[in-house]
Structure 1
Amino acid sequence: MGGLASAVCLSAIGFDQAEAQAVADASSATTPSASAGAAPGTQTASAPAAPARALPPSLHQGQKAGGFQTLRANDSFPIPAAANAPWDERLKHVPLSADGQIWVTFSGEERMLMQNFNRPSIGTASPALASLSFQFRHQYGADLHLGERLRVFGQIVSGQVTGDNYVSPVFGRQQNALELGQAFVEYSRPLYNGRAGVRVGRQQTHLGSGQLISAQPIHNIERNFDGVRAYYAAKAFRFDAFAYRPLVHERGAFDDTVDDTTAIWGAYGAFALPRRQHVALNFDAYYVGYRDEESALLKATSVQDISSFGVRLYGSIHGAQIDANLIQQTGDVGPKTIDAWAMVNSIRYPVPGAPRNLTLHLVSNVASGGSREGDVIHTFDPLYSVQRHANFASSIGFTNFVDVGGGFTFDATDKLELGASLRAFWRYSIEDGYSLGYQTAVNNRKTDARFIGLLPGVAANYNLNKHVSVKGSISPLLASDGYKAIGEDGMKSYQLELLYIW
């Protein structure tokens, strides 16, 4: 596995939105209660039993927003609400047959995302103007259940963007008049103490911690695919196989098309490891194949084939929630071979007895890079990662960098969570660039400095209720002296999200 085998794993915590969600999803441990089965006459209570082996219910579910999944097809409401419940709760289970076997769930979302990037320079001859964008997403869906085995899910989405000096020309994942975001049929049935199923059609997908395939919810129009996904899920084991083609997003109404030059396929296995007292870990292994017949990685358009092999260890150890990921990429692009890798590690530790749910976070990430002039390409490709382009509180692109940092969060009130963090970034290779958001900021022709700079950040998350939330973050990149010498004078990032979801 090349450099991956010799990498030193620095355990750390994710404190931006995507990483915090991934770590929280990784935890499946519970604090066992003392056994009540002590033999008569004994003075010492028996040791607490280890928790039962079970995968976390949040596996492959993606991020949550309020009381709902951002991947709305993963929400489940099998029981009707009371007749006097609020209107939105009654719409979560609308019976369509007298026996209750046919029913439909409705869902909706309205989101405004403000992003402000102030880039005095990105290492080019002319300064970059400050960018301000307001992105609006409107998303509504219906989930029809025809008995316990068959369901039909559909979702429409529309997005608009306005502001000053934002990415131009506007592309289809920022602005889209009206589009069929999801439309699939799923059949499932009980099988060998588990459940097997197949999903066919247009769908959103989040695998594991989302390092290679996710819906990328930071974008105005989320990532979706046309294809098929089959699965078998039991209490302590799950296996998924899939074959997809991504969509080409246009700006008009119902004009998105399937990208017939790009394909992605693979398999993902998840296992709940044997439990011990205060230890509940899970192990995943997966393969993702990717083919792009019109890759622009090299100077000339070429065919790119990538095979990604990944492993993930996650769960709880004495209260600490860990999530460790290793990915090795092989393949070829044009006449060159690919040998790249990435490591994504995080720890989240709720401090015992601390007030306000004080939680410490650590993170360490590495994504390989290198020159594209030789016979081997070492630049890691994040494919459709939740990390790609922008996290909620980080604007460093997920390639050719080393990242170490930490932070903390606490509950200021029962509805308001506050946090602060500090991360340091280096280029993995001085023969490759790194990216700020969508733009490559510095390449090997401008500087040989390796240290990029520091990224302090503060964030707030206010949940009025399970439907309404407000998130905000400030994260200025403080450029190193080496990058200031070529005109990279740092970057300021402000983001604000207003969300109503039901």
Structure 2
Amino acid sequence: MPVFLSGFALAEIGEPPPIKKLRFDEDYSYLRGIPWPRQWPDCWKYIPLGNSPDSYLTLGGEIRQRYEYTNNPTFGQSPQDSHGVWLQRYSLFGDLHWNRHLRFFGQLTSALETGRAAGPSPVDEDELEWQNAFFDLSSNDWSGGTATARIGRQEIVFGSGRIVDVREGPNVRRTFDGGRGFLITPNWRVDVVAARPREDRRGVFDDKTNDTQALWGIYSAMQNPLPYPGNLDLYYLGYENENSTYVQGTAHEDRHSLGARYWGEQDNWDWNWEALYQFGHFGSGKIRAWTLATETAYQWPDARWQPTLKLSVNIASGDNDPENSDLGTFNPIYPRGNYFSEAAVFGPRNFYNFHTFLYLQPTEPLALTVDLNFFWRLEKEDGLYSPSGQIVRSPDDSDAHFAATALSLTAEYTLCRGLVFTAIHTFGMPERFLRETGPSEDLNFTELTLQYRF
């Protein structure tokens, strides 16, 4: 195997940490004391900066090449790309640990797009920008845990990403400007956050803080706090948007979310259940909204290909009277971009669905997934929305609920540590609501991705 693909010499230096969605959560301090020379990329993961073992630099990055082709985008509603879209993402980061109390993490990212018929969307292209640029001040002896204050530009994920996520699927990941404090102990973690999202622009170092939106709140995660298996997250998140748009109209939105997430695994079972209630104001009206999301999976580890079957049942409220100033539409705030599939047509507002998954592992590097999604809108007076909150389809006096059926096939092959090839095809069939309210062609989405993270 070529040296640049050889990965870590596991037999010599032990097991490396997993490559994470948030690269600043990776800890390579286990490499201290390992003599040089080291293989790629070990040579960049722990660079001593002095005699102290707590003073070191970690370097890394990402190269992602993605080709997408959609036949009949948004079921024929959006412009047709002639030959598909080529999306490129490049990233380099440096993680400087000055000592055990002071740290700086900086990450530059370039996202490029070619071929979109309507031109690049805000999540397609950002030529060069700071994705992360923050300082950490930490105390390692605070009530049996580690307390950290983080200031600057930073990616944020809470829980499983249903409510706040970096938006990994699209080419441009989401990030925030602001402050975050967190306390971590062996059994629980508490985060306090006050931040505004970055306003993504297409040029070089031209992004700025989005002053029309804000996020604040507290998120706590507890390990096995109940007398039966499972972990519990409890949280409050506040959100403000000066120009929110729903079928009802556009107005100032001030929304508060109270949520609980119960998740874990035991024996061959795995579960992730979440409930959330929202209140606040939209213009002159009141907000009353809610959602319930469940994922339950069972694996047969001793069977051939180790099959896992997962059922996801979800529902989110919609608005039942657009003429009334009160708003009932749920807002997922800053969710993952590929919420239901990589095709990313619909988002979790005014809907209910049944989503089944079958996972197969024919060989250690190869994973296969088949999933089938039946998607309805909940309130017939409200429409359907994209993951970012844009109105995909207005109600147009249709009383139909059934909106779409989607079948996805995914193959993921890990060539070596950090290097993964993914092929996805999604077939979407419009159902009665889409057929009654506008273009309703069958959707076919193909994605080929080669991603190397080091």
TM-score by length of 2: 0.89
CA contact (8 A) 1:120 1:488 kept: no
Q: Which amino acid aligns with 1:344?
A: A
Q: Partners of 1:407 and 1:153 in 2: how far apart?
A: 37
Is residue 2:91 matched to residue 1:139?
Answer: yes
Deviation at 1:388, TM superposition (A): 6.1
Task: String of CA shifts for 1:462-500, please: whole Å, max 9, x gaps.
Answer: 100112101121111122245435541332222222101
Describe the shift of the 1:120–1:99 C-alpha distance in structure 2 as closer, same or farther (beyond 3 A): closer
Q: Which residue of 2 aligns with 1:442?
A: 393
Percentage of matched positions with identical amino acids: 29
SS of alignment partner, residue 79 of structure 1: helix
Deviation at 1:402, TM superposition (A): 0.7
Is residue 2:112 matched to residue 1:160?
Answer: yes
Deviation at 1:214, TM superposition (A): 1.1
Describe the shift of the 1:470–1:120 C-alpha distance in structure 2 as closer, same or farther (beyond 3 A): closer
Q: Partners of 2:339 and 2:264 in 1: how far apart?
A: 27
Q: Partners of 2:224 and 2:335 in 1: how far apart?
A: 26
Give 1:332's match in structure 2, choosing from 278, 281, 291.
281
CA contact (8 A) 1:171 1:249 kept: no
Give 2:334's match in structure 1, choosing from 367, 370, 384.
384
CA contact (8 A) 1:77 1:92 kept: yes
SS of alignment partner, residue 356 of structure 1: coil
Give 2:230's match in structure 1, choosing from 277, 281, 285.
281
Q: Which residue of 1 aligns with 2:10?
A: none
CA contact (8 A) 1:173 1:220 kept: yes
Q: Partners of 2:400 and 2:231 in 1: how far apart?
A: 39
CA contact (8 A) 1:238 1:269 kept: yes
Q: Which amino acid aligns with 1:354?
A: A
Deviation at 1:219, TM superposition (A): 2.0
Q: Partners of 2:334 and 2:69 in 1: how far apart?
A: 24
Is residue 2:254 matched to residue 1:292?
Answer: no
| Superposition CA RMSD, Å | 2.3
Task: String of CA shifts for 1:181-239, please: whole Å, max 9, x gaps.
Answer: 11101011221221111111110010111111111111212111111111111111211
TM-score by length of 1: 0.81
Is residue 2:63 matched to residue 1:114?
Answer: no
Deviation at 1:295, TM superposition (A): 2.8
> Which runs of no fewer than 5 residues in structure 2 stay unpaired?
1-16
Give 2:252's match in structure 1, choosing from 298, 303, 309.
303
Q: Which amino acid aligns with 1:225?
A: F
Is residue 2:421 matched to residue 1:470?
Answer: yes
Q: Which residue of 1 aligns with 2:44?
A: 91
Structure having greater relative contact order (Cα 8 Å, sep ≥ 6): 1
Is residue 2:187 matched to residue 1:236?
Answer: yes
Q: Partners of 1:274 and 1:75 in 2: how far apart?
A: 26
Give 1:364's match in structure 2, choosing from 313, 330, 349.
313
Q: Partners of 2:300 and 2:444 in 1: how far apart?
A: 31
Q: Partners of 1:96 and 1:422 in 2: how far apart?
A: 52
Q: Partners of 1:172 and 1:394 in 2: how far apart?
A: 14
Describe the shift of the 1:420–1:223 C-alpha distance in structure 2 as closer, same or farther (beyond 3 A): same
Aligned residues: 431
Give 1:351's match in structure 2, choosing from 300, 304, 310.
300
CA contact (8 A) 1:345 1:363 kept: yes
Is residue 2:270 matched to residue 1:321?
Answer: yes
CA contact (8 A) 1:394 1:475 kept: no
After superposition, where does 1:189-268 map in structure 2 within 5 Å? 189=139, 190-268=141-219
CA contact (8 A) 1:325 1:344 kept: yes
Q: Partners of 1:174 and 1:458 in 2: how far apart?
A: 23
Q: Partners of 1:379 and 1:482 in 2: how far apart?
A: 18
Q: Which residue of 2 aligns with 1:271?
A: 222
Identify which range, 262-271 or 350-359, moves more after superposition: 350-359
